[in-house]
Structure 1
Amino acid sequence: MKGIEEHDDYFKQKRNAANVLGQSCLKKVVAAFCIFAYGVPTDALDEYIRIGESTALEALRKFVAGVVEIFGSEYTRMPNEQDTTRLLATGASRGFPGMLGSIDCMHWTLKNYPTAWHGMYKGYKKEPTIILDAVASKDLWIWHAFFGMPGSHNDINVFHRSSIFARLAEGKGPQVNYKINGHDYSMGYYLADGRYPSWATFVKTILEPQGNKKKYFAKAQEACRKDVERSFGVLQSRFAIVRGLARLWDEDTIHNITTACIIMHNMIVEDERDEDDYNFNDMG
């Protein structure tokens, strides 16, 4: 709240022309968090915190924009050297040396889109949605998020338009060194389902595995790949606004809401993280 108040003059309490104090920063931030956490309509807040519908909606818009501008560079960053070391050590301890996380997509259902646009935003869910493409690690930290593609696209279409695709296509990525079956590798990989392309940077499960060895690999891969799906589940349980219908018309605000939820989700992950579990300085 302090960071938001210092960042945006809208949240500073002021007097109007009649010298009456307006809404405080605390009430505006509480209104935004009520909408985030419980998914309540903006007109339902007046009885609880005495704030009007238009003020609550404006506070929400400015709150999510402020969160993205203030904390986005820290909590939506690409993995740095220390982060990469931790991710690689975690992957190696689970039997996947060189793994940087798992990747998948989530659909957020839209409510207030024009009927003429429904065909563009309808996919296999048979209702208008917007897609979130994300990469997550075991501790549920979301390292990459690409949001905004219409629901009619599949995972490959979304991936081809995301920033992570551009980096991988150019051979850019965290440089790592590890050995599997006597072969040396210098680029990390992500666990993915069968809908992603057959690239060296994706390790997919084995469909209809035959033999104990392949069955064991498929089981282990699918268990670790659930990290990103668990992240989606935790994100939706923490912020009911992304579990329910997207009621806003403004695409920029919807994008900022999703990004702000991911930022605050990563804040909670960082706060609850047990640093003793991530001390890999003594590991080779």
Structure 2
Amino acid sequence: MSTMLRLHDVYKAFGGNQVLTGLNFNVRQGEIVGLLGPNGCGKSTVLNVITGYCSVDRGEVEVRGERVSGMAAHQIAARSVRRTFQLPSMPARMTVEEVVMAASTASHGLLSTLWRPAAVRRLEQDTRERAHHLLDELLLTKVAHLPAASLSGGQKKLLGIACAMMEQPALLLLDEPMAGVHPNLRSELVTTLKRINGQGITLVIIEHDMHFISETCSRCIVLDKGRTVADCLPSELENHESVVEAYLGKKPGGQFQVAGAVA
């Protein structure tokens, strides 16, 4: 199985705060990998350096064997990489449907088709059909005509996933997709992400919900103080000494309640 994502000896600091310190890990094509760790360990910074929202100070980030560290965010996105955000902000004057359609790059070359009205109409129809399919898959059809900014926090998370999926990316990075999502939607979201993965899309998921991680991910990478301290199966987290110490600051002396430690 080929390597989709590789981070090698990555360092990133903000002023005097060293966030990533020689970070190394690989993600294989087709995996669903959970990126875990206590608050402040650098998880969101990892997504930012992968997607070009901030630069690395040292080291390399590669996507499908191509070095992307040093590229701008739009250049990395053009390599079929998409992401969601922990606290998504949505426009107040666009509907949910309009936001999803705007996420498509299919219409970015629209000026070249202005003299072909039929082609424009077909392009718009294809984009709309794709948007409606994703809204239905992510249980947002009933709110498609509401202002995007009026959605609940959990619905905004789902809308962010729909936007990221408009271009059928090769690599999808999700920053806490379960946070704020109603518990009744939990199993549907697990099913949806597995279906997305079944389409050949590699997923890297930051999440604190360990039940969600165990249901969804095939492998977990655990960070602490900007380094990888564990690379293991979800079932191995509870008794992994480095994971226990990262979250609790002590060695395991009994049953380790991961969910309670990080919720």
Larger fraction in helix: 1
What is the TM-score normalised by the length of structure 1?
Answer: 0.21
What is the TM-score normalised by the length of structure 2?
Answer: 0.22
Larger fraction in strand: 2
